[in-house]
């Protein structure tokens, strides 16, 4: 796999990260203006966040790995193999993360 697909993916990831950080900053500023403490709004537990992030990276890595296998076996074209496998495995990682953290979120709501 050449840089033909890595450069656009890297650019897309950078844009998503910048938008996410800008929205987080805007949310914090709105909380400060209303007199709320932004540190108290961190509902997402650190371990839950790390689990979700780890699953996403595993999904992306498995997608690239299987995309490379499909591409080298000539079952799919190279760009189709990479894009489809990364999308499928990242989606599976999101769904798995949802089901693994659903019980944790329920427990947090019951404690409040």
8/24 same-domain check: yes
86/97 same-domain check: yes
pLDDT in tens, 19-78: 888 988 898 888 889 888 777 666 556 677 788 888 889 999 999 999 889 889 988 888
pTM summary value: 0.56
Query: Domains in the chain: how many in total?
Result: 2
81/94 same-domain check: yes
Among 59, 63, 53, which Cα is nearest to 20's? 53
Question: 89: pLDDT confidence band, cut at 50, 70 and 90?
Answer: very high
Angstrom distance (rounded) from CA 29 to CA 44: 19
35/71 same-domain check: no
31/49 same-domain check: no
51/88 same-domain check: yes
Q: Which domain holds residue 68?
A: 43-112
31/56 same-domain check: no
Q: Which residues of 2-40 are buried (b: 16+ CB within 10 A; e: fewer)?
A: eeebeeeeeeeeeeeeeeeeeeeeeeeeeeeeeeeeeee
């Amino acid at each position: 796999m050449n840089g033909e697909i890595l450069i656009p993916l890297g650019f897309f990831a950078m844009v998503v990260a910048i938008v996410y950080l800008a929205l987080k900053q805007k949310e914090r500023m709105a909380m400060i203006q209303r007199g709320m403490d932004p540190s108290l709004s961190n509902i997402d537990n650190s371990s839950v966040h790390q689990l979700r992030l780890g699953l996403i990276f595993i999904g992306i890595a498995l997608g690239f790995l299987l995309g490379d296998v499909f591409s080298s076996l000539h079952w799919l074209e190279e760009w189709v193999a990479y894009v489809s496998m990364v999308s499928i495995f990242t989606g599976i990682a999101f769904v798995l993360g949802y089901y693994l953290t659903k019980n944790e979120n329920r427990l947090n709501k019951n404690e409040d």
